[in-house]
Amino acid sequence: MNSTETWFAERLQERGVALSPLQLQQFQTYYELLVEWNEKMNLTGITEREAVYEKHFYDSVSLSFFLNMNETSSIADIGSGAGFPSLPLKICFPHLKVTIVDSLNKRIQFLQHVVERLGLQDVFCVHGRAEDISRLAAHRDRYDLVTARAVARLSGLNELCLPFVRRGGVFASMKGADPAEEVQESKRSLSELKAKLVDIHHLKLPFEQSDRHIIVINKLAETPAKYPRKAGLPLKQPIV
């Protein structure tokens, strides 16, 4: 193990996430593929090993510090980009059934390649806009947990993500610095989409010490048929 991997394994161990040699190897292969493919396409601005392990891998897994993954079966990651947060979560919690939705096909091809190289089972990479995919019966009102990191402001994200969540399930939005203003602005979209904010968790990245927030939203009832609106509208004209 190199020093970054040792650091990463220790930080996760402190949070109750124990990684086997196979799981550490999967993270290493993921890192190598990310850097290799990033030369051909835009996947991430962060490529230094230490930074990827902290700001992408650790940050992604931090969702499991607050939400019990052992009680979660299905998860959908909306606007996953290079696979965050769902692929690090899948590596740590192999029982998860993961659906990834992204509107950029090149990123979906990258993710499909990573899934094959890492030998991950039950990961489905779907190319399309969230607004269209959540209209399909196979994806609507279905998932225990839906998540999105760095995709849009919460008022717009609610409309992209909540239609995927099963009634009683959770949408967890991963944010950086203090999201108070976004939360304030998202009140109308929550009531329109039959959902309720139940928690805002805070953490600091262990080395860099920057702030992260996880907004936890419960879905109280099925999404009304009129949502989401036409593709593009939820982010262009969010419900406010």
Positions in the binding site for ligand SAM (CB under 6 A): 78-82, 84, 101-104, 107, 129-131, 149-151, 160
The answer to the question of whether 131 is labelled as a binding residue is yes
Specify the residue, 21 or 45, whose C-beta has the smaller distance to ligand SAM: 45
Question: Which of 8, 164 has the CB closer to ligand SAM?
Answer: 164
* Alpha carbons 211 and 229: distance in angstroms, whole number: 33
Integer Cα distance of 142 and 97 in angstroms = 12
Minimum distance between the CB of residue 13 and ligand SAM, rounded to whole angstroms?
Answer: 24
CB of 90 closer than 8 Å to CB of 26? no
Considering beta carbons, is residue 71 or 230 the nearer one to ligand SAM? Answer: 230
Q: Which is nearer to ligand SAM, 14 or 48 (CB)?
A: 48
Which amino acid would we find at residue 76? A
User: Smallest distance from the beta carbon of 68 to ligand SAM, in angstroms?
Assistant: 22
Sign of the dihedral through C-alpha 114, 120, 121, 122: negative
**Beta bridge mates, 149:** 174
Instruction: Confirm or deny that 116 is annotated as ligand binding.
Output: no
Distance CA 193, CA 176 (A): 24
Q: Is 181 annotated for ligand binding?
A: no
Instruction: Tabulate helix, strand, coil % of the chain (nearest 5).
Output: 40, 20, 35
Q: Given the complex with ligand SAM, which of 72 and 99 has the nearer CB atom?
A: 99
Which residue, 132, 144, 32, is CA-closest to 77?
144
Q: Which is nearer to ligand SAM, 123 or 160 (CB)?
A: 160
152 annotated binding-site participant: no
Closest distance to ligand SAM from the beta carbon of 21 (Å): 26
- Nearest one of 83, 31, 46 to 61, comparing CA atoms: 83
Angle between helices 105-118 and 21-38 (to 10 degrees): 150
Q: How far is the CB of 141 from ligand SAM (least distance, A)?
A: 18
Sheet holding 74-78, edge to edge: 123-127, 97-102, 74-78, 143-149, 165-175, 211-219, 195-204
Q: DSSP assignment of 149-165, as one string? A: ESSS-HHHHHHHHGGGE
Least separation, in Å, of the C-beta of 124 and ligand SAM? 14
130 is in an annotated binding site: yes
- Least distance from ligand SAM to the Cβ atom of residue 63, Å: 11
Residues at the annotated binding site for S-adenosyl-L-methionine? 79, 84, 130-131, 149
Residues at the annotated binding site? 79, 84, 130-131, 149
